[in-house]
Structure formats: C-alpha cells, structure tokens
C-alpha cells in the first residue's frame, strides 16, 4: 500500500464541511437506547437489535417487536440482526435465533442444530447460506439444515463475527483465538504470531481488492488478498494521554472506499466514538462532534452512504462525508469516459506527442487495482469486476478520478 501511495501525486482527504450527525433515542421515539446491532433492508428501513427486542425504524416511526407483540420472537434480549436477500430478518438472541418473514417469527435453537443459543453475529454468504456466530462455536445454515462447528476447530470463547472472501473462504473472528478461516472442508488459524495485533476479534471487513480489515481489542490489523499481514492501525481514535489502547468494536467499508471504525474504551467510560480512514488519516467523531454516545457497538452503511451507528445511548446517523481529490494535470493530459462508468472505461491520450503510455488504476484507499498500456493513444479497460465506488486513473504524473456504478 505504501508504494502505491508514493506513486500518486494527489491528495486524498475527507471533506467534513457538509457532514451532519442526526441522533435518535427514546426521547425521539425509539423503544430503547441500548442498541447492539444494525442492518438495512432494501427499502431503507433500519433494523436494530436492542435490549427491548427488534426495532424496525424508517427514519421517523419505530416499530417494536417483542415476544408480546410478536409471540414467535423468543426473547427481547436481541444481540444480532441481519436482513437476508429474500427480505427475511434474522434476530440473534440469548435464547436462539428468531426469523421474521414479514408476518411472523420462527425460532431455532440448539435443539435444531445451533452450536449455542447465544447468537452474537449473523451473516448471509454470497451463495445464500447463513452463518451464525455463537459463544460456543459457529453454525452454518444451508438448504434447511443447521451444521454446528465447535471444539477443537473453534476453541473456548466462541465466535464474534463472520465475513466472506471472494475465493469462498469464510473468515470467523473468535473471542480469544484470533481468526479461523474455513475453506469448506477445514479450518486454518491467523493469530498474533502471524501479525494479528490481538487475538480478541470484534469485526472483519473485506474490500473489493480482497484486503481484510480486522478489528481487535487493540486496534485494526490488515491483510492482503493472499492473507498476508500488511500492517496495523493502533490508534484510529486519539485518547487522552496516557491512554493509547484502541478497542475497536466494528469496522465497515462504504462505497467511496472509506473505512469506518467504532471504538469504545470501557474502562474510561466516556471515551469512544467513530473514526473514518480516508487512506491517509483517521478522522474521529465523538460526543463533542454531536455523536449520541461514546459506547459504539455496530455500524452499517445505507444505499445513500449514510453511516448508522448503534450505541448504548441511542442511534446516530452520519451523512455528508465525502472524499475530495486534488487532481494533478501535469506531464501530459488524458481523457476518460464514460464517467460514471459501468463495465468498461476508455482512456484516451489527448496530448499530441504521446501515443503510448502506462496507466494505473487505484481505489479510493490508494491501493493499486489495475495497470496496463495505452497503445496508439487509447485503451479500453474492463472494470466489470470492480466494486462500485470512486477510483483514480493515473497516466504519467497526471491523475483523474472516476466513479463506477
């Protein structure tokens, strides 16, 4: 990553002038301030896991699901929430997982094959399978069947988070034993000896280039597409001296390529918030910036790039954060089209003395994602495999930004 950054003669920075934080809590109509997890459905509804049950929030009205209002919901103590591709909502509780089909809840427990009834995280794989993290292992739901994984593959401490790589590997964060990577038949481990900053895993995010961002109790570790350790972010959130410990509670990526991390230092009580990484610097949002509370649990990004933040004090919505790029038009000029692009991008050299040059493509975090030659003054590039977001094209020392839809 460092070599890619050094090649670019441009400035990547966050523009916070238009940034807005909107807060929601029991005063504004939420049934509870104690929010543990968040998911967004295709209609833009925000689903919240809370101490008071499942909450469906459309930005104005909060609908509370409890075992009383919805008898199929097994418990009001909801710790995890996920929305499936078919619209079903899975709620992980302290007594099993309850699945809402839009009408009623159906509950599954260890009697049905769960590794434990305390469900801490739920994710749907690209192939439609559902994985559940529990305090005593992990569970795969596939073709109507639950399959539990536990000791010795997943040792004491259970699993805390689930993420999926493009090669089919399932990344399981554990409570005490680092990362377990499941390839469909066996487990391998990534621990502190492999570069992981800490073995207590809180969250995992995987970007379009298959770089892994691993949130731990002591900061964030990064791994490349080959699962090799590439670095650590030990201080995404600046704390009052002499404290430096950064327990990261969650990490997510937005379509612009920005990395968002939740941080909460429980022994300091009032210290915590959200930090955003633009490829160069961490920018933090906390109580003094208008965040609803310091005890950040989970984050989610909606279709409008708003970041939703769950805390023990309510819900915050961060909007208007965009990255700006100072383009360098020196050396020789080039044009690119269409912009925004979809599956193909044309680069055309516009300077008369250039008919061949090397091009490079970088994502918004300044990672090299493509390169080649523009021969006879032009090149057509297949970008169909790239994730939506903002990118930078570089020819010589000139740079242009473009967007993939």
- Tell me the per-residue pLDDT of 295-341, one tens digit each, with 9 for 90 and over: 999 999 999 889 999 999 999 999 987 655 445 555 557 788 887 78
Mean pLDDT of 3-8: 35
Q: Which domain holds residue 35?
A: 2-324
Q: Are residues 305 and 355 in the same domain?
A: no
Q: What is the per-residue pLDDT for 9? A: 39
Mean pLDDT of 4-18: 40
Mean pLDDT of 280-293: 90
Model confidence at 3, pLDDT cuts 50, 70, 90, reads very low
pLDDT tens string 167-209: 999 999 999 999 999 999 999 999 999 999 999 999 999 988 8
Whether residue 10 is predicted with pLDDT greater than 60 in this model: the reply is: no
- In the chain, how many domains are there? 2
Q: Are residues 246 and 155 in the same domain?
A: yes
Q: What is the per-residue pLDDT for 39? A: 98
Q: Are residues 272 and 391 in the same domain?
A: no
Model confidence at 129, pLDDT cuts 50, 70, 90, reads very high
Sheet holding 145-149, edge to edge: 119-124, 130-134, 137-142, 145-149
Q: Count Cβ atoms below 10 Å from residue 280 Cβ, excluding itself.
A: 12
Of the residues 282, 307, 324, the one at which a domain ends: 324
Q: Are residues 368 and 273 in the same domain?
A: no
DSSP 94-138: BTEEEEE-SS-EEEE-GGGT-S-S-EEEEEE-TTS-EEEEETTEE
Mean pLDDT of 372-380: 82
Q: Are residues 187 and 311 in the same domain?
A: yes
Mean pLDDT of 90-109: 98
Q: Are residues 23 and 165 in the same domain?
A: yes
Q: Whole-model pTM above 0.85?
A: no
Whether residue 257 is predicted with pLDDT greater than 50 in this model: the reply is: yes
DSSP 181-204: EE-SS-EEEE-GGGT-S-S-EEEE
Q: Are residues 339 and 314 in the same domain?
A: no
Whether residue 389 is predicted with pLDDT greater than 90 in this model: the reply is: no
How far is Cα 232 from Cα 225, in angstroms, rounded to an integer? Answer: 16
Q: Are residues 296 and 198 in the same domain?
A: yes
**Length of the chain, in residues:** 405
Q: Are residues 61 and 95 in the same domain?
A: yes
Whether residue 126 is predicted with pLDDT greater than 50 in this model: the reply is: yes
Q: Is 4 helix (H, G, I), strand (E, B) or coil?
A: helix
Q: Are residues 358 and 319 in the same domain?
A: no
Instruction: Give, in order, the Cα–Cα distances in Å from 318 to each of 92, 136, 142, 219, 362.
Output: 26, 34, 35, 22, 26
Q: Count Cβ atoms below 10 Å from residue 371 Cβ, excluding itself.
A: 12
Q: What is the per-residue pLDDT for 327? A: 53
């Amino acid at each position: 990553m460092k070599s890619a950054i050094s090649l670019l003669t441009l400035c990547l920075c966050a523009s916070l002038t238009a940034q807005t934080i909107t807060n929601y809590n029991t005063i504004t109509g939420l049934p509870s301030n104690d929010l543990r997890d968040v998911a967004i459905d295709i209609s833009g509804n925000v689903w919240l896991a809370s101490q008071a049950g499942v909450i469906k929030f459309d930005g104005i009205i909060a609908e509370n699901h409890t075992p009383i209002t919805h008898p199929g919901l097994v418990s009001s103590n909801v710790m995890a929430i996920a929305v499936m591709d078919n619209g079903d909502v899975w709620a992980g509780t302290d007594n099993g997982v309850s699945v809402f089909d839009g009408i009623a809840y159906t509950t599954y427990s260890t009697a049905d094959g769960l590794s434990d009834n305390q469900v801490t995280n739920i994710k749907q794989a690209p192939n439609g399978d559902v994985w559940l993290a529990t305090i005593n292992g992990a569970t795969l739901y596939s073709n109507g069947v639950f399959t539990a994984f536990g000791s010795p593959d997943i040792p004491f401490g259970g699993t805390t988070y689930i993420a999926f790589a493009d090669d089919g590997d399932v990344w399981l964060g554990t409570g005490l034993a680092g990362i377990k990577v499941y390839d469909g038949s066996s487990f391998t481990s990534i621990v502190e000896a492999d570069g992981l900053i800490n073995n207590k895993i809180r969250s995992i995010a995987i970007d379009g280039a298959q770089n892994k961002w691993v949130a731990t109790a002591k900061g964030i570790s990064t791994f490349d597409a080959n699962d090799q350790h590439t670095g650590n972010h030990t201080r995404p959130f600046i704390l009052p001296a002499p404290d430096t410990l950064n327990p990261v509670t969650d990490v997510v990526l937005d379509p612009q390529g920005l990395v968002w991390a939740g941080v909460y230092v429980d022994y300091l009580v009032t210290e915590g918030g959200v930090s955003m990484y633009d490829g160069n610097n961490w920018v933090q949002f906390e109580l003094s910036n208008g965040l609803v509370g310091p005890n950040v649990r989970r984050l989610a990004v909606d279709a409008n790039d708003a970041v939703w933040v769950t805390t023990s004090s309510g819900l915050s919505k961060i909007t208007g954060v965009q990255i700006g790029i100072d383009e360098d038009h020196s050396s020789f000029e080039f044009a690119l089209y269409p912009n925004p692009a979809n599956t193909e991008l044309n680069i055309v050299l516009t300077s008369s003395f250039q008919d061949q040059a090397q091009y490079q493509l970088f994502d918004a975090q300044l990672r090299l994602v493509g390169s080649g030659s523009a021969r006879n003054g032009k090149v057509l590039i297949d970008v169909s495999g790239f994730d939506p977001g903002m990118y930078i094209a570089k020819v010589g020392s000139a740079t242009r930004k473009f967007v993939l839809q």
